[in-house]
Structure 1
Amino acid sequence: MSFPIRSTSTATGLHRVDLNLLPLLAALLEHRSVTRAAQAVGLTQPAMSNALQRLRRTLGDELLVRVGRHYVLTERAGALVGPVNLILETATHHVLTPPTFDPATSDRIFRIAATSASALTVLPALSAALAVSAPGVRLHLEPPDSAMDLTRGDATADVTLLPDTVPTTLPRERLYHEDWVVVADADNDRIGAALTVDDLARLPHVVFEWEGGRVGAQQALARLIPDLHVRCVVFEFLMIPSMVSGTPMIALLQRRLARQLAAQHGLRVMEAPIPLPSLGIDLVWNPRTAGDPGRVWLRKQLMRAVH
């Protein structure tokens, strides 16, 4: 008995095909025997015979024909061996198997968007940890304004380090809190044993501004001292140590940065004489890639680097 070959397209015909038959077809093509194919997949012989009949109707071909005492594949069936195995292998390894990430063997590049201040705070410890646990992984640092909207199709950053003052609709998690200290040149003899509010009022300041705005701590200082003596405005926190060094100027600086840079620039680090609001730095990522094992691992490593 022969069966007419049906012409179906992927769009219009695939939904009418029972894809559960594909593993059974693969077993029949491999073993060329209903009995052995049934044993291989754990079916009874009648169930496999029924599956063969359904496959014949679906594909419009006999698939297995008897020649003497044995069954052989038809020409059509022989041509299906490679494609069927490829379909099953693709489904198993690329559809049904969850993606994995092995940091010890990976050579993946991760892109982190961050300001220089955040990068200097986080990346040294992160790089040191990865040198041991993920020696092949590479980090690329990007400016935050190139990846503020991680939902853009052309956004390249895997994660952005964003101040809590910058709004976003994307998922975010607090990476660390940063409080503020005051830095001055170590030889600044205009300051006594401890910094006072009067010192803040009379000494010249270096102030950070970004797009015309100031951080909450500087806003709080300006409210307390409206006529604050601002001698220098910078757009990078990392400029502050060099600007203060060797001058009578003082400045607010994140505590972690101040600790890292004080010795290099000859600075004195002092507690502020007034309470100042802290600054939160958040991890921000695209929810579309949230489940990627590599990016999940990266976020965990960033968390460990600052705690």
Structure 2
Amino acid sequence: MNSSAPPTVKTPGLHRVDLNLLPLLAALLEHRSVTRAAEAVGLTQPAMSNALQRLRRTLGDDLLVRVGRHYVLTARAKALAGPVSLILETATHQVLRPPSFDPVTSDRTFRIAATSATALPVLPALSSLLAVSAPGVRLRLEPPEGSRGLTGGDATADVTLLPDTVRTTLPRERLYDEDWVVVADAANDQIGATLTVDDLARLPHVVFEWDGGRAGAQQALALLLPDLVVQCVVFEFLMIPSMVSGTPMIALLQRRLARRLAAQHGLRVMESPVPLPPLGIDLVWNPRTAGDPGCIWLRKQLRRAIHQRCDDGRDECFSR
């Protein structure tokens, strides 16, 4: 061991410090007088003198020294003025004061994790709502972290739109339900007037996979038709129309996406000849935001956006 090494100075742990002294320290630093500081916080002069002695022992500095008829701050005391004020302001406004959220004046950025397919039915309506009721609020859309990332306590999104097939231990509630149709190129002459089970079995498919899994409808179809020909796998539902267009391939797609994108990509939208389980889209959030007024408001706006699409007649009403 190097005996010439300087000794380690140990600072007292926070649990050993009387934090009630911080407001008294702030008064002493501001007024530079024991008497005036005592008057400011409602203590007697002897009580403030005792507090000053305790602060000196705790901080290892005189803090206030007499120069002639007045007290002046030491260099250490001057350096403490800003940090002490910040600590007290933070404790007052962010710890002791109940949290609040005013959408009219807020400029907060909310982070929403969702695939394009789960976001498209609701986020345009949400943006319209916010433009009127919360013009300063901003949205940041992010890709989902995957089922593994959502189960931890360190999720970064304020809310995630998650298919009901993805498990998570985080709080969740149903936002909307979606059903499935089959899409094919409009010029695909291998399909007759209606789609048949034989068509599903013999035609090649485009299939969506995310985080190593498939949608419940795709799983159900694979169980019914174990020899299903999967010619293409995509990681984003919005890629399916482009992949199907101009090819003999077919694919399952959410009805609302299919109706929105069919004309653009020259697709034919058909009912499935076999029953398929619907897709539920849930609101998922981290428990750390459960009491956050802003996040509570955001979830409410997402629910309003779903109902607005129904009320405005711009889409089929979402089943709940």
Range of TM-score over shorter length: 0.5 to 0.7
Aligned partner letter, 1:90: L
Amino acid at match of 1:206: H
Between the aligned partners of 1:159 and 1:52, the Cα distance in structure 2 is 52
Aligned to 1:210: 209
Aligned to 2:143: 142
Q: 2:91 aligns with which of 89, 92, 95?
A: 95
1:265 has 2:265 as partner: yes
- Give the count of matched residue pairs: 288
1:137-195 per-position Cα deviation (integer Å, ceiling 9, x unaligned): 252433645x9525789976555433222333444443432221233455667444xx4
Instruction: Give TM-score scaled by structure 2 length.
Output: 0.65
CA distance 1:217–1:37, change in 2 (3 Å): same
Match of 2:51 in 1: 54
Distance 2:226 2:143 in 1: 36
Distance 1:18 1:227 in 2: 72
Q: In the alignment, what sits opposite 1:12?
A: 12
8 A contact 2:21–2:55 mirrored in 1: no
Aligned match of 1:234: 233
How far, CA to CA, are the matches of 1:177 and 1:219 in structure 2?
17
* Matches of 1:66 and 1:242, distance apart in 2: 82
Q: 1:13 to 1:255 in 2, by over 3 A?
A: closer
Which has more radius of gyration? 1
Distance 2:182 2:296 in 1: 36
Structure 1 gaps, min length 5: 1-8
Using a 3 Å threshold, how does the CA distance of structure 1 residues 27 and 204 change in structure 2: closer, same or farther? same
CA contact (8 A) 1:162 1:282 kept: yes
Deviation at 1:104, TM superposition (A): 5.6
In the TM superposition, residue 65 of structure 1 has moved relative to its aligned partner by 5.9
Structure 1 residues 25 and 240 mapped into 2: Cα distance closer, same or farther (>3 Å)?
closer
The residue number in structure 1 matching 2:252 is: 252
Length-normalised TM-score, structure 1:
0.68
2:70 counterpart of 1:72: yes
TM superposition shift of 1:257: 0.9
Distance of 1:113 and 1:255 partners within structure 2:
22
- The DSSP-based 3-state class of the residue aligned with 1:251 is strand
Work out the percentage of aligned pairs sharing the same amino acid.
63
User: Closer, same or farther in 2 for the Cα pair 1:21/1:156, shift >3 Å?
Assistant: closer
| Cα pair distance change 1:28/1:242, threshold 3 Å | closer
- 1:24 corresponds to: 24
State the shift of 1:277 in Å. Answer: 0.9
C-alpha displacement of 1:254? 0.6
1:220: how far off? 2.4
Q: Secondary structure at the match of 2:282?
A: strand
Matched, 1:86 2:86: no
What is the rounded CA distance, in whole Å, between the counterparts of 1:97 and 1:149 in structure 2? 32
Structure 1 match to 2:177: 177
Q: Counterparts of 1:293 and 1:158 in 2: how far apart (Å)? A: 12
Judge conservation of contact 1:179–1:278 (CA < 8 Å) in 2. Answer: yes
- Determine if contact 2:176/2:282 at 8 Å carries over to the other structure: yes
Cα distance in 2, alignment partners of residues 10 and 134 from structure 1: 51
Please identify, of 283-292 and 20-29, the stretch whose mean Cα deviation from structure 2 is larger. Answer: 283-292
